[in-house]
A = this chain, B = another copy of it.
Amino acid sequence: MRPKIYIFGDSITQESFADGGWGASLAHHFSRAVDVVLRGYSGYNTRWALKVLDKVFPVAGGGDAPLAITVFFGANDACLPDRCSAFQHVPLHEYRQNLHSIISIFKKRWPETQILLISPPPIDEDARLKFPYVENPMGMPERTNEAAGAYAEACVSVAAECGIPVVDLWTKMQRFPDWEKACLSDGLHLTQTGNKIVFEEVIMKLRDVGLSLESLPVDQPLIGDIDPSNPLKSFEN
C-alpha cells in the first residue's frame, strides 16, 4: 500500500484542495506514489490542534508510519488579543510550546516520519478590513503583518531547535511582487499564486529530506513501461 503524507493545519490547509490549492497540487504531484491526507481545521490554533490531534491521526501501531506530516498553524494563534478575533489568539510563548508538543507527539509516535513546519503567511491588513470574518465594530484589523511575523519567527526557531525543516512562508511570500494582492485573496487566505508558492516550497523541502518522485516507488507499472507486445508481463508476480 502507498505511504501517506498528512497535511495538518488551519483553513489554509483545509482549503488546499480548492482549484489550484497546494494540497491538491501535492496529491497530483505524487499521484502514483503517495496518498496525501487532508487534516485541515478552519479557524484552529495550536491549542485546539493539540486537543484534536489524538482523534484525527492514527495511534502508534495503527498501520505504517506516515512518510511526512506538514504542520501549518499560526495564522489564528497570531490574532491580536484585543481585537475582534481574540478568542482564537494564543500567546506567542504558548504557540512555541504547542509547536514543540505537536512535534514531540509525532516524533514519539513515528520516529522516522519527516515533520515539516510551515509558518503563517504575511497579512495584508487593508484586505483584512475589507473582508471581515466576524463583526468588527472597532474597525481595526484582527491580524497584523507584524504579529504574523513574530509567530513566523517563532515557528522558524522551533524548527531549528527540533532540527526539522521549515517553510518560512511569511518571509518567502513578501519577496513576491505585489504579494498583498497577488498571493492573498482576503489578506490571509491564498490565491492560486500563493498556493503555488506553498506547493513549490513544500516539494523542495520534502526533496531536501529525500522524499521526491525519483526516490519513491511507483504504485504499479507505468503505461510507458508496459510492453505493447506483451502487456500482461508487467503484471506478473
Which of A's residues lie within 8 Å of B, judged by CB?
1-2, 14-15, 17-21, 23-25, 27-28, 31-32, 35, 37-38, 40-44, 47-48, 51-52, 55-56, 58, 63, 87-88, 192, 219-220, 222-223, 226, 228-229, 231-232, 235
Cβ of A219 and Cβ of B87 under 8 Å apart? no
Closest B-chain residue to A48, C-beta based? Answer: B235
How far is A38 from B29 in the complex, measured between Cα atoms in Å? 12
Q: Which of B19, B21, B55, B63 contacts A63 (CB 8 A)?
A: B63
Instruction: Report copies per complex.
Output: 2
Known: A35-B37, A37-B35, A231-B48. A55 touches B15 (CB 8 A): no
Cβ of A42 and Cβ of B1 under 8 Å apart? no
Cβ of B32 and Cβ of A14 under 8 Å apart? yes
Known: A24-B17, A52-B220, A56-B219. A31 touches B38 (CB 8 A): yes
